[in-house]
Each structure stands twice: as C-alpha cells, then as structure tokens.
Homo-oligomer: A and B are copies of this chain.
Amino acid sequence: MPTGIAMHDARERLLAAAERVLLRDGQNALTSRSVTEEAGVSKGVLHRHFADFDDFLAELVRTRIALAENEIGSLQGSEPLVENLAQALTSVFTPVNLGLVKAVIARDGLRSRLRETTPQGLPILNEASASLAAYLDAERRVGRLKPDADPRTLAMTLVGTGHLLFAGELGGLPDESAVREVVESVVVSAVS
C-alpha cells in the first residue's frame, strides 16, 4: 500500500468539507460539486472513494449517528435526570445533525440508501430516540422513574419536540431555557 494514509485523508477531507458546506450554505447547497470544491479536490476524487454521491452522504450520516449514540450512551446516572436529558438533546441536535436530517428528507436516494442500514424512520432521530429510550429504561429500573413510566413514549416526545425546537421550526426563537422547560414538562409525570 503506497499511499495508504492519503487514501483515508481524502475521505476525511471530503466528509469534513461536506459538514462545512452544510453549516455555511444549508442542505440545498450540499452537492457533489460544492463538496469537492470545498475540499479542494476535483470531482473525480469523490467517485474513487465512494460509489456515488448518495453513498458519500450516507457515510456522513452514519458517522454522525455513531457520535450521537456515544454521547447519549456516556450519560452518567449520578447526574440529575433533567440535566442529563437536556444535555443529551443538546449534543444530539447539533447544527450539523439538523442539517443532515433535512438533507435526508430532501433526498430520496439518500433515504433509500440508508434504509439498507436503518430499517425505518429518519436516521439520527430514530437512533437518538432508541438510545434515549434505553437510557430512560435504565433509570426506571434503578428507581429514578416510576415503574409504570414508558421509556419509549418519553424518548419519542423528547426527540420530537427537541428536534423542531433546536431547528427553530416551532413557535418563536429557540430560547435557551425552552429545552429545559420542555424536558421538565415531559418528565415531571414520570419521576418517582
């Protein structure tokens, strides 16, 4: 393997460039041309490392899903519940992740490509919900939630509201305390 390092280098350069484009110009500007230009390489490079553009984006999504799941998975049970949940939502709904969700919605090809990995639903949102449900279930078993609390419903409610809140799609401005407010209002009925 002559230039083994450079090979991975190009992959990472392209993925990082895609994030920058996504943040700067939005999901509609996320094209094969803009990404390769941002990365400072020619168009052909992308097709050497990825089958096609949707494959490239799918890899980007998978990377970010793994990050979000790790963030939630590393939550410490010693912290207050509301604190943990608010932080989990904050670390999941980063600007990049919100942009990726929109990109998946806007692209049929990307969506069907991800279906090979994720059975159904929107990636990131789906995974975040599952991770949160697992965390809440653990807290329930420890006794920090009522025994009859439904972790899945709680997680869905948190992810659904958090998503629109962080994306600024609901009501007024995404107030700094709005997230905490939502989290409290959702979990108050479930804490023991």
Smallest beta-carbon distance A157→chain B, Å: 5
Chain B contacts for A159, CB-based, 8 A: 164, 170
Question: How far is A156 from B150 in the complex, measured between Cα atoms in Å?
Answer: 20
Q: Which of A28, A159, A170, A173 has the most CB of B within 10 A?
A: A170
Question: How far is A106 from B104 in the complex, measured between Cα atoms in Å?
Answer: 9
Within the complex, which residue of B126, B129, B153, B155 is in contact with A181, where a contact is CB–CB below 8 Å? B153
Smallest beta-carbon distance A188→chain B, Å: 5
Q: Is A120 an interface residue (CB 8 A)?
A: yes
Interface residues on A, range: 35 or more
CB within 8 Å of B: which A106-154 residues: 106-108, 120-122, 125-126, 129-130, 133, 150, 152-154
Q: Is the interface of A mostly helix, strand, loop or mixed?
A: helix
Chain B contacts for A133, CB-based, 8 A: 171
Smallest beta-carbon distance A156→chain B, Å: 5
Within the complex, which residue of B125, B169, B189 is in contact with A125, where a contact is CB–CB below 8 Å? B169
Q: Please state the number of chain copies in the assembly.
A: 2
Q: Given A161-B156, A164-B160, A186-B186, is A169 in contact with B26 using a C-beta cutoff of 8 Å?
A: no
Q: Are A152's CB and B164's CB within 8 A?
A: no
Q: Are A188's CB and B189's CB within 8 A?
A: yes
Chain B contacts for A172, CB-based, 8 A: 120-121
Interface string of A160-192 (1 = CB under 8 A from B): 111111001111110000100110011011100
Question: How far is A170 from B156 in the complex, measured between Cα atoms in Å?
Answer: 7
Task: Write the chain B residue with the least CB distance to A188.
Answer: B189
Q: Which of A102, A120, A126, A185 has the most CB of B within 10 A?
A: A185
Question: How far is A106 from B172 in the complex, measured between Cα atoms in Å?
Answer: 21
